[in-house]
Chains A and B, each alone.
Chain A
């Protein structure tokens, strides 16, 4: 009995960690789409860049017999926080390059190039084995404060770490969005010509939003890498890395950071808990295919939300500027 409660608690803690990491991605997307109207369909790309950057920065180079099995371009063996910062920087740098190339063009170009770049990043990590061990990926990634706590309790510690990142990002974003800076972003979203006529450099503000959102996504990627302690290219496929985050933000409320967090917890609950229910109701022999029903469920949920409550559960507030 005691074991069972412990098992449930462990499950809930891992659930909360993943939901919180997704909440960070959703807030990043909110900066792009919710406030600035930037169509980023390549969240998975920044997710991957963040995860791989932090993995390579924090893990040591393989030694001994491992060198036969694990190839990686470098392993700096630096602390976790350095890894997270590096993840944010590299992700932001890639966003800057994409932005410089596409943000002066009409908005469709950003959408198309983010799809393509995210897939290219994933395939690059898959094929270029020298960089991060190709399809096998990297395993045994270091976890912060791991040795200070008994292994069975480590997830509680990691939950606290993730929640701390979530809180800092939330507070920083709210401050920015409710300030004149956020007001300009929303003006750019509403009507870029009008924003220019009011003297705002639309390109520069779009670029800032693209970089900031990507840095937040990079942090989310790093937090994911050190939680799962193993990453491989297949994690960063569009469904798991992009589509589900769009569903989270849309459900919770585009243009509202609380909505982004709420939507992440709801969608991740549906995603991770529905498997149990689905496995019980599908006929024998179909168990291996059962998890794919979840995609249908998420899609259905998205359709219902868009029809019934297009602004999401808690949409953008009427008066956002409040400083």
Chain B
């Protein structure tokens, strides 16, 4: 492995994504340094979520190049990028509503023995052992996110903030190298937001995971992210430390609606 400082874990070069005549992502390039918490901000409709959809493989890009750990991933679909070590969340939290909180988490670990039907028939012992381990891990991540008491509830019955915590627990179960958080703070009350910020920081400091985070609430982004990338109309507008971005006149203009545009 290369030294973490010089080789980006995720690298985008000239990525384009069109919807008809609309250039949602318009020649976007980006390097994400390992063990960083990179923030991606920009006004509504800037193309942030589309960019996530392209990187994670939910959408196919129209042109450009995406490398993850020096390997091209722009041909992979959503479930394949997951197996490369990339885990994403969604802007509007998605959970498996009619499955319990615990089942939502136990689903996540890759390559489970019991995902092959014939093994559940002919090697039930092995499946059972692994299922026990997965349950323990899931319960552990529920304890650390404060959702343990809700383990047997339907995931669909959780509150908005609890769903965000479940999302966080889910990324822990995935054991990824890079997490793409799409607005993890949306619909979360201020005290829960502090917990969330703290947990995201610990993902990086304790488990060595890299985070790329879309944020709408400037506080959360300015608080946890460095560097911050600003996107506007599918293009990169600015990039730098929170201080640099905060004082950049172009950024102020798109956020405060300058007269020039």
A residues with a Cβ closer than 8 A to B are 172, 175-176, 179-181, 183-184, 186-187, 190-191, 193-202, 208, 212, 316, 318-321, 323
Is there contact, CB below 8 Å, between A179 and B107? Answer: no
Is there contact, CB below 8 Å, between B106 and A183? Answer: yes
Q: Which 3 A-B pairs have the closest CB atoms?
A: A199-B82, A180-B114, A179-B120
Q: Determine the chain B residues whose CB is within 8 A of the CB of A199 once the complex forms.
A: 79, 82-83, 108, 110, 174
Closest chain B residue to A188, Cβ basis? B96
Among residues 96 to 114 in chain B, which have CB atoms less than 8 Å away from a CB atom of chain A? 96-100, 102-103, 106-108, 110, 112-114
Interface size on B, as a range, is 35 or more
Is there contact, CB below 8 Å, between B99 and A172? Answer: no
Using known A-B contacts A175-B120, A179-B114, A181-B120, determine if residue A316 contacts B103 with beta carbons closer than 8 Å.
no
**Any chain A CB within 8 A of the CB of B88?**
yes
B178-220 near A? 1/0 per residue, CB < 8 Å? 0000000000000000000000000000000000000000000
Q: Determine the chain A residues whose CB is within 8 A of the CB of B120 once the complex forms.
A: 175-176, 179-181, 323
Q: Determine the chain B residues whose CB is within 8 A of the CB of A183 once the complex forms.
A: 99, 103, 106-107
Which residue from A184, A201, A323 sits with its C-beta under 8 Å from B107? A184
Which residue from A175, A195, A197, A319 sits with its C-beta under 8 Å from B121? A175
B54-95 near A? 1/0 per residue, CB < 8 Å? 001010000000000000000001110011000110100011
Q: Known pairs A191-B95, A199-B82, A199-B110. 11 more at Cβ < 8 A?
A: A181-B117, A187-B99, A190-B97, A195-B107, A196-B78, A200-B79, A200-B107, A208-B117, A320-B103, A323-B124, A323-B131
Q: Determine the chain B residues whose CB is within 8 A of the CB of A195 once the complex forms.
A: 79, 96, 107
A186-B100 Cα distance, complex, nearest whole Å = 11
A133-B94 Cα distance, complex, nearest whole Å = 54
Closest chain A residue to B120, Cβ basis? A179
Task: Give the one of B77, B82, B117 with max A CB within 10 A.
Answer: B117
Task: Give the one of B87, B110, B120, B127 with max A CB within 10 A.
Answer: B120
Closest chain B residue to A202, Cβ basis? B79
